[in-house]
Structure 1
Amino acid sequence: MSTHDLNPLYTRRLSELLSDENGTLALALLQKLGTPDTAGPPAPADPAEPSRPADPSGPSGPDTVGVWRRSGQEYVRDPALRDQWRYWADLDRLPLTPGRGRTVVLGESAARGYFYDPAFSFASVLGDLLAQGTGPADVDVLDLARTNANFGDLERVLAQAAGLRPDALVVYAGNNWNNIDLTPHQGQRLAEALRSGGYPAAGRLFQEFVVERSGRFLDLLAATAAGCGAAVTLVVPEFNLADWADERSLVCPVLPGDAGPRWLRLRARTADALRAGRDREALDLARELTGLDGGTSPVSARLLARAAAACGDQALREQALVTAKDAAVGLFTVHSPRILAVVQDEMRRKAREHGFRLVDLPRLFRDAAGGALPGRRFHLDYCHLSFEGVS
Structure 2
Amino acid sequence: MSVTESIRKEAAEQLAAYISRRENSIPDILEKMEAFRIQHATETPSLSPVVQQIGIWKEEHGTGAYVRDKKQMGEWIKWASQHRISLTTDNKRILLTGESVARGSFYGNEYAPAAVIEHVLSSVAGGEFEVTDLAKSGMEPDEMRSVLKSAAVLQPAMVVIMAGNNFFYKLYGGFLNTRLASDLPVDEISCKWLKEKVDNALSLIVKDFLQYLQELFVQRGVPVLFVIPAFNLADWKVTAHETSTPVLSAGDTALWEQLWNAAREAHKQQDYAGVQKWCDQLLQMDDTQPSIYELMGEAAMAAGHWDEARKYLEAARDYTLLFRSVGKPRILSIVYHTLLSEAKKYGIHTLDLASLLARNTDISIPGRNFFMDYCHMNMAGIQLSMAAVTAAIAEQLQIPVDDPEVFYQHAAAVVPSPEATCMAHIYAAIHNAHYGQEYPIVRFHIEQAFKAVPTLTASFCRSYVDMASRRLASPLTRSFSDLFNNLDAGIDKYPEAVFHPVNGKLLDLILTDAMNDVLEEAGEITSGELSALRLSEHAVEQHQEVDLLESFYSRSTYDYFPEQSEYYISRNVRSEFNFFSRATDTLILKIVYRSKHALGGNIKLVLNGRPLYDQLPAAAHWISDALHIPANDLQPGLNKLEIQWPGTIYQPPLEAVLTMRDVLDVLSPVRGELHYLTLAVSK
TM-score category by the smaller chain?
0.7 to 0.9
Per-residue CA deviation, residues 18-62 of structure 1 (Å, 9 max, x unaligned), is: xxxx9563545544554452447xxxxxxxxxxxxxxxxxxx998
Q: Which residue of 67, 71, 88 maps to 2:56? A: 67
TM-score normalised by length of structure 2? 0.48
The DSSP-based 3-state class of the residue aligned with 1:274 is helix
Tell me the equivalent position of 1:16: none
* 2:279 maps to 1:286: yes
Matched residue, 1:240: 232
Alignment partner of 1:98 out of 81, 89, 92:
89
Q: Could you tell me how far apart the structure 1 residues matched to 2:351 and 2:50 are?
A: 30
Task: Write out per-residue CA displacement over residues 168-219 of structure 1, whole angstroms, 9 at most, x where no aligned residue.
Answer: 0000011111112435895526984975141222123212211211111111
**Alignment partner, residue 120 of structure 1:** 111
Counterpart-to-counterpart distance in 2, 1:61 and 1:224: 21
2:346 maps to what in 1?
354
CA distance in 2, matches of 1:80, 1:119: 24
Question: Which has the larger displacement, 347-356 or 72-81?
Answer: 347-356
Shift of 1:384: 0.3
Unaligned 5+ segments in structure 1 are 1-21, 41-59
**What is aligned with 2:149?**
159
- Matched position secondary structure for 1:272: helix
Q: 1:107 aligns with which of 98, 113, 121?
A: 98
1:280 and 1:311 in contact (8 A); partners too? no
Within the candidate set 128, 135, 142, 2:132 is matched to 142
* Higher RCO (C-alpha under 8 Å, 6+ residues apart): 1
- Map 1:140-219 to 2 at 5 A: 140-180=130-170, 181-183=173-175, 186-188=178-180, 192=184, 195-219=187-211
Alignment CA distance shift 1:279-1:29 (3 Å): closer
> In 2, Cα distance between the equivalents of 1:109 and 1:325?
19
Q: 1:194 to 1:227 in 2, by over 3 A?
A: farther
In structure 1, give the amino acid aligned to 2:134. L
Partner SS, residue 163 of structure 1: helix
Q: Distance in 1 between matches of 2:249 and 2:313?
A: 27
Task: Name 1:321's counterpart in structure 2.
Answer: 313
The count of residues paired between Structure 1 and Structure 2 equals 349
SS at match of 2:161: strand
Deviations 1:270-325 (A, max 9, x none): 11222334321221211222332222x22111111133334443222111100111
2:51 and 2:98 map into 1 onto residues whose CA distance is 20
- The structure with the largest alpha-carbon Rg is 2
Q: Give the TM-score normalised by structure 1.
A: 0.82
The 1-side partners of 2:184 and 2:209 are apart by: 27
Q: Give the Cα separation in 2 of the matches to 1:61 and 1:137.
A: 34
- What are structure 2's unaligned runs of at least 5 residues? 1-20, 40-48, 384-683
CA 1:185/1:119 → structure 2, altered by over 3 Å: closer, same or farther? closer
Q: Does 1:335 align with 2:327?
A: yes
2:352 is equivalent to residue 363 of structure 1 = no
CA distance in 2, matches of 1:138, 1:62: 30
**How far apart, in 2, do the equivalents of 1:226 and 1:207 lie?**
27
- Aligned structure 1 segments of 4 or more residues deviating by more than 6 angstroms: none
Superposed displacement of residue 145, structure 1: 0.4
Report which of the two has the higher share of strand.
2
Report what 1:15 is aligned to.
none
Counterpart position of 2:390: none
Q: Which residue of 2 aligns with 1:262?
A: 255
- Aligned-pair identity (%): 25
Distance of 1:61 and 1:101 partners within structure 2: 27
Q: Partner amino acid for 2:52?
A: D
Look up the match of 1:376: 368
Aligned mates of 2:381, 2:300 — CA distance in 1 = 27
- Distance in 2 (alpha carbons) for counterparts of 1:29 and 1:308: 48
Rounded Cα–Cα distance in structure 1 between residues aligned with 2:158 and 2:183 = 42
Secondary structure in 1 matching 2:80: coil
Q: CA RMSD in A?
A: 2.6
